[in-house]
Amino acid sequence: MFKYFPHTSDDIQQMLDIIGVKSLDELYAEIPEELKLHRQLDIPSHKSEVEVRNIIHGMAEKNRILTCFAGSGVYDHYTPSLVPYLASRSEFSTSYTPYQAEISQGTLLYIFEYQTMMARLTGMDISNASMYDGSTATAEAMMMCVSASKKRNRVLISSTFNENVLQVVRTYAGFHGIDLVEIPQKDGIMDQQAVKDLIENEDVAGLVVAQPNRFGIIEDFTGLADFCHEHNTLLAVNTVASALGVLKSPGEWGADIACGDAQSLGVPMGYGGPYIGYLCTRNALVRKMPGRLVGATTDADGKRAFVLTMQAREQHIRREKATSNICTAQGFMCLYIACYLSLMGQKGLEQVNRQGYSAAHYMHDELIKSGKFVEVFPDKPFLNEFTLRYTGDDDIRIRMTEAGILFGVPTQDLDNCFTIACTEKNTREQIDSVINQL
């Protein structure tokens, strides 16, 4: 007897009798004996619920919860208590992909709301029903550029992406056979002249850019979309989702694709996931879009209702010709985002950005004032994340960690530099305490 198995020994016997076999083992009679294991698996023994709790609590306690000043794609934002509460409803969480629309309107409705909210945030026409994370969403955007252009195979990507995103995009490009060119940074921003030279002289399917970039800098893409479109090159803009509350949206920049991670919209940091990648585009590109899509239609009585649609793009129908292999993505996280944005609204999201901006600028100035940090890219605009160089010769990150502070993330390729992020959760007291520890 075990709590997840409802069968009594009488049940088992009656069922075996009907099937016409003598034992459970006989159900495997056709499998050659030499393929069978014939021993117990060498895995931990069964634990009671009390023991399971003790073991995993013990592991959780070995992690140290630090005051977070790290970003680099993942941000420690406030989540209203209602969000995880609603997300614990098992009517939502224990359902499968909503193939039977008549009994899945809950899932379909919240995905439709999510799609609407993401389209509005990014300023694009449409959004899909989620990708895995921001890095794979960026890789999918790259592949989408190539499939939309039909005959071109070269994609440019800004090297101002976070290194982990770049690595994922490189992996996909390498195996998929895409000619990926990384555009160097100049003074902390993508070298737009280098981009233009390449697009002018070569057949480029797409350009993928980061906003804010890995140094926290907000880049100016004015005129870039027009230039791309004159040369039949698609523009994909990756933005930290929360920043879209105040920053110019991909749609306003003239982008064809918007992609990125929506973790910053109230999703817990959870040591790397589950997060939620987003991918939005223009109506004209809908058939090139990867991932699931929910659409509105009517039922036999004329009632408005929602359904998975445009499925002929997808792997279960198109097989190797599908726009992507993605099927199960992060659908449930759409509920997180929809609840979060319903509660926060435009005002809340703006407030989150205002407070993050103030905290980050205050911390930036105080760190400079301390005399132990210097600017790396002076006078570049930033939102809630910035990069500075430490002038001391000790390992400040270790020292800070011991004091309970996650002091930013070491900046890739820049010696002794840290990329530091603040959110509305970081108080003046916390920042002052960092300064006092310097």
Partner 1 sequence: MNNVYYGKLIFELSKPGRIGYSLPTSDIQGYCIDNLPECVTRKNQLDLPEADELTVARHYTNMSNNNFGVDTGFYPLGSCTMKYNPKVNEEMAALPGFNIHPSTPNAMAQGALELYDELQKILSEIAGLSRFTLNPYAGAHGELTGLMVIRKYHMQRGDVTRTKIIVPDSAHGTNPASAAVCGLQIVQVKSTTDGTVDIEDLKPLLGPDIAGMMMTNPNTLGIFERKIPEIARLVHECGGLMYYDGANLNPMLGVCRPGDMGFDVMHINLHKTFSTPHGGGGPGSGPVGVRTGLEQYLPNPQVVRNVDGTYSTTNDDQSLGRVSGWLGNFGIIIRAYAYLLSLGRENINMAGKLSVLNANYIKECLRSHYKLPIDGLCKHEFVFDGLKDEYAGDRHSPDHVTTLDVAKRLLDYGFHAPTIYFPLLFHEAMMIEPTETESKDTLDEFIAVMKQIAEEAKANPELLKTAPHSTPIRRLDDVKAVKEPRFIY
Partner 2 sequence: MAKVIEGLYYSESHEYVKVEGEYGYVGITDYAQGQLGNVVYVDMPEVDDEVTAGEEFGAVESVKAASDLFSPVSGTVVEINEALENSPELINQEAFENWIMKVQLSNPSELANLMDAKAYEAICD
Q: Which residues contact partner 2 (rule: CB under 8 A)?
A: 287, 311-312, 317-318, 321
Smallest distance from the beta carbon of 389 to partner 1, in angstroms? Answer: 19
The two structure tokens encoding residue 74 = 């993942």
Pick between residue 38 and residue 151 the one whose CB is nearest to partner 2. 151
Specify the 3-state DSSP secondary structure of 134. helix
Which part of the chain contacts partner 1 (CB under 8 A), choosing from 189-197, 199-207, 224-232, 395-403? 395-403
Any contact of residue 259 with partner 1 (CB under 8 A)? no
Pick between residue 104 and residue 387 the one whose CB is nearest to partner 2. 104
Q: Which of 154, 258, 260, 327 binds partner 1 (CB under 8 A)?
A: 327
Any contact of residue 435 with partner 1 (CB under 8 A)? no
Check: CB of residue 235 under 8 Å from CB of residue 204. no
Pick between residue 186 and residue 287 the one whose CB is nearest to partner 2. 287
Which residues ranging from 178 to 217 are in contact with partner 1 (CB under 8 A)?
A: none
Q: Which of 353, 373, 390, 411 binds partner 1 (CB under 8 A)?
A: 353
Site string for partner 1, 269-308 (x = CB under 8 A): xxxxxxx----------x-----xxxxxxxxxx-xxx-x-
Half-sphere exposure of 82 (CA within 13 A, CB side): 8
Pick between residue 201 and residue 413 the one whose CB is nearest to partner 1. 413
List the single partner that 298 binds among partner 2, partner 1, none, CB under 5 to 8 Å by kind. Answer: partner 1
The two structure tokens encoding residue 370 = 């301390």
CA distance linking residue 262 with residue 276, whole number of Å: 5
Phi and psi at residue 180, in whole multiples of 5°?
Answer: -95, 125
Any contact of residue 341 with partner 1 (CB under 8 A)? yes
The single residue listed with the structure tokens 């994340």 is 385
User: At CA 368, angle to CA 365 and CA 373, rounded to 5?
Assistant: 140
Element (H, E) at 11: helix 9-19
The two structure tokens encoding residue 152 = 């071109």
Smallest distance from the beta carbon of 201 to partner 1, in angstroms? Answer: 26
Smallest distance from the beta carbon of 97 to partner 2, in angstroms? Answer: 15
Check: CB of residue 95 under 8 Å from CB of residue 104. yes
Picking from 437, 387, 383, the residue whose alpha carbon sits closest to that of residue 415 is 387
The single residue listed with the structure tokens 């760190």 is 367
